[in-house]
Structure 1
Amino acid sequence: MPMRVAIASMFAIGLAAGGAAHAHAATLRGATVIASGTVRLSDLFADLEPGQDRPLGPGPAPGASIQVGGRQLLAIADEYGVDWLDQSPSATATITRAGRVLDQDYFAGLVRQNLPDLGDGPVSIELRDFHPIIVAPDDKKPIVLSDIKWDQRSGWFSATAYRGQPTGDITRDSFLLTGVIHATRRLLVYAHALPAGSVLSASDAQMDDSYAGHITSKAFTNEADIDGMTLTRGVVAGAPILDQDLQRTVLMHKGDPAVITFTAPGVHLTATGRALEDGGAGQYVHILNLSSNMIVTGRVISASEIEVAAGSNPVPSDSNALRRLTSARGRSRADLSLR
């Protein structure tokens, strides 16, 4: 029942007037915050006589306010025998009911409580078309969920939410709660937007401990793995760093001269060579040893150095070997590398 209607009803049924005017003067409260759902006389007037306080009617909804105008205040003071200082028909009193906001975090936690199949692992619960609601601060169970449905494959869920303390308005007392649940993971994301062709360094990445987006290829978790890689497309801040968007930055180009090094316990050998294909840092490529005219496979150390691992088998640089090598360049780097 609205405040004005409730007060008018009290006048109509002739509630007991509090007696004649009291010698003790009360003062008007201009603004009052109440915790309960009932407005009392002391919410409008301070310094009442002992035993003079009494309930007047229902208060506003949690978080809402009502205003009581001067004529109503005069009528209430007269009805209950309140000797009110500075009485005026232009006076107003505002009564606000305290409220607690139930935000997305609250409802996400409630969904998790009601879906034990989610387990204890990290998840992200994203609500769709969500609007916060306000409830009484002392409401220990303000929302109850029912009819919960969850498609584990798509992550989509829905549930009906009911207020624990109904307001009487069916459009506010229940509503449909929907959203998507994603498993989260710890991975590197871009610290800022970058254009295609950028060469990455550690400063371009940051760790996201609870990334919940969709991953389409291998994601990185170690900054050292992306250092020196080149972007094949433009990216935005916060996007995951994926293998499909990176390529090795070419340090050594086909035809470049290079020093071939071989190191073993007690042995360190060097030779002059020429790269037979492009290669990025740490990548294995074929190189022609100009001294022995043999083709070896080594790891790119820098733009001018190839390191040959122990156990690498050189092959003669005859026409057949060179032809096989030429045809192999059309295949992936994995086919050309020693793993």
Structure 2
Amino acid sequence: MKDIRAALRPLAVMLAAAGVLAALGAPEVSAATLRPHVVVHDDTVRLKDIFDGAGRKGDTALFRAPAPGQSVVLTGRWLRQVARTYELDWRPAPGLDESRVQRSSNLVGHERIRRALHEELKGRVGAAKKFEVALDNPNLELHLPVRMPAEVTVKHLQLDRQSGRFSATLFAPDRRPGAAAVAVAGRVHELIEVPVLTRRMRAGDIIGKDDISLQQLRADVVGRNVLTSPDRIIGMGARHALVSGRPLNGADIREPQLVGRGSIVTMTYRTNNLVITAHGKARENGTAGEVVRVQNLSSGRTVEAIVTGPDTVAVQPLSQITARCTTCR
């Protein structure tokens, strides 16, 4: 019995103390719930931002909010200390003893920054020239307080025309107090219009006007052999299979094939007062003006002829063929 009384004595003391505290008007502890993800819009984080049910002390300022667009993680140990300090009835649930506080922002994205720099550089590069701006930091973006507009101002712009390198200072949105300021650098790249295929083509396909479109590409990545004039491509044949969307060079195209190996062609022999026609079988492929071998279907004899049109060849004396087509073969 004495052992039982001894075990209960501390509990009795605790209950008595609780009664005394209640009689003295000890503050009532508030029930609270942790908010695991908090988004604040100004520069101060308050008790009510982190805990639902913070009561009269909810407007208490705890700490300065992170920079716009940034976040901070509040640990369980820190949160328990805050709860004890401000007499909140909060116990962390398993796996829910942290809170992430994020500061909202107005975002000035990378593309908007590039456009602002491009506009300022026009006066230095020349409004008539096509160019693009490449920043050394391709992921640059600026986060502003929500009370500020998502705009950017370019100042102190310097451009080296020979190398294309530039530097500048960005103010977002401008030079007002609290605005963001950052130094940037990059390069200006000249753009040229290059015809590219709009569809995949097989060897021998004829490239038509609707098969190409003009695309702006950086001049420093366009090879010296790339064809830049559509007139040099339209009406030509694909020398081999070609994919869409890439520039063409001289090795990709050739004069269109008008005579195919094994096809039946019309043979014409013409003099000043005589025209003879016959049918023959082409022994090889040929484009306009090329000399090909053709087998006469009537005599079985193989002769050389000049391709003059689709499935049409002209048979002439060898001396004339040699004079006209010294580079055909």
The reply to whether TM is greater than 0.5 is yes
Q: Structure 1 residues 239 and 284 mapped into 2: Cα distance closer, same or farther (>3 Å)? A: same
Deviations, residues 23-74 of structure 1 (Å, cap 9, x unaligned):
6533221221223332222221123335741332222233332122334324
User: Residue 90 of structure 2 aligns with which residue?
Assistant: 85
| 1:183 aligned residue | 191
Q: What is the aligned partner in structure 2 of residue 63 from structure 1?
A: 69
Asked whether the 8 Å contact 1:31–1:93 carries over to 2, the reply is: yes
Q: 1:50 to 1:228 in 2, by over 3 A?
A: same
The aligned counterpart of 1:160 is 168
1:142/1:248 CA distance change after superposition, 3 Å:
same
Instruction: Indicate the SS of the match to 2:188.
Output: strand
Q: How far 1:95 sits from its partner (Å)?
A: 0.9
The aligned amino acid for 1:115 is: L
- The one-letter amino acid paired with 1:112 is H
In the aligned structure 2, how far is the partner of 1:177 from the partner of 1:110?
13
RMSD of aligned Cα (Å): 5.0
Q: Please name the residue that 1:41 is paired with.
A: 47
Letter aligned with residue 253 of structure 2: L
Q: What secondary structure is seen at the aligned counterpart in 2 of 1:112?
A: helix
Deviations 1:244-266 (A, max 9, x none): 5322244449xx9744599xxxx
Q: Which residue of 2 aligns with 1:14?
A: none
Measure how far apart 1:329 and its partner are: 3.0
Q: Is 1:229 paired with 2:227?
A: no
Letter in 2 for 1:213: R
Bigger-Rg structure (1/2) = 2
The answer to whether the 8 A contact 1:252-1:300 is kept is: no
- 2-structure distance, mates of 1:137, 1:207: 47
Q: Partner letter of residue 154 of structure 2? A: L
Relative distance call for 1:22 and 1:185 in structure 2 (3 A) is: farther
| AA at the equivalent of 1:75 | Q
Q: Is the contact between residue 206 and residue 256 of structure 2 (CA under 8 Å) also seen in structure 1?
A: no
User: Which residue number corresponds to residue 25 of structure 1?
Assistant: 31
What one-letter code is carried by the residue in structure 1 that aligns with 2:324? L
Q: TM-score, normalised by structure 2?
A: 0.59
1:163 and 1:31 mapped to 2: Cα distance?
A: 31
> Once the two structures are superposed, what CA deviation does each residue of 1:86-105 show, in whole Å capped at 9, x if it has no partner?
36899322212235665542
* Counterpart residue identity of residue 166, structure 2: S
1:245 counterpart residue number: 252
Q: Which residue, out of 86, 89, 100, partners 1:94?
A: 100
Q: Compare 145-154 and 110-119 and name the one that shifted more.
A: 145-154
Q: What residue number does 1:8 align with? A: none
CA distance in 2, matches of 1:35, 1:206: 53
The TM-score normalised by the length of structure 1 is 0.57
Q: How do 1:1-339 residues align onto structure 2 when only pairs under 5 Å count? A: 21-22=27-28, 24-49=30-55, 52-79=58-85, 81-86=86-91, 91-99=97-105, 102-117=108-123, 119=127, 123-136=131-144, 138=146, 139-140=148-149, 143-150=152-159, 156-162=164-170, 164=172, 174-185=182-193, 187-189=195-197, 191=199, 198-200=203-205, 210-214=215-219, 215=222, 216=224, 217-219=226-228, 221=230, 225=234, 228-231=237-240, 238-243=245-250, 245-252=252-259, 258-260=266-268, 271=277, 279-280=286-287, 283-284=288-289, 300-302=308-310, 304-305=311-312, 324-325=323-324, 328-329=326-327
5+ unaligned residues in a row in structure 1: which ranges?
A: 1-18, 167-171, 263-268, 288-296, 308-315, 332-339
| Matched residue, 2:177 | none
Quote the Cα distance in structure 2 between the aligned partners of 1:206 and 1:104. 34
Paired positions, count: 270
- What residue number does 2:298 align with? none
Q: Quick one: distance in 2 between partners of 1:158 and 1:184?
A: 20
Could you list the per-position Cα deviations for residues 178-217 of structure 1 after superposition, in whole angstroms to 9, with x for gaps in the alignment? 133333536323756x9xx9334569x9655543133444
What amino acid is the match of 1:240?
A: P
Task: Give 3-state SS (helix, strand or coil) of 2:324's partner.
Answer: helix
| Cα distance in 2, alignment partners of residues 20 and 206 from structure 1 | 86
User: How far apart in 2 are the matches of 1:317 and 1:202?
Assistant: 34
Q: Which amino acid aligns with 2:61?
A: P
Structure 2 residue runs of 5 or longer lacking an equivalent are 1-24, 175-179, 293-304
Partner-residue secondary structure (3-state), 1:116: helix
The 8 Å contact of residues 237 and 253 in structure 2, kept in 1 or not, is answered as no
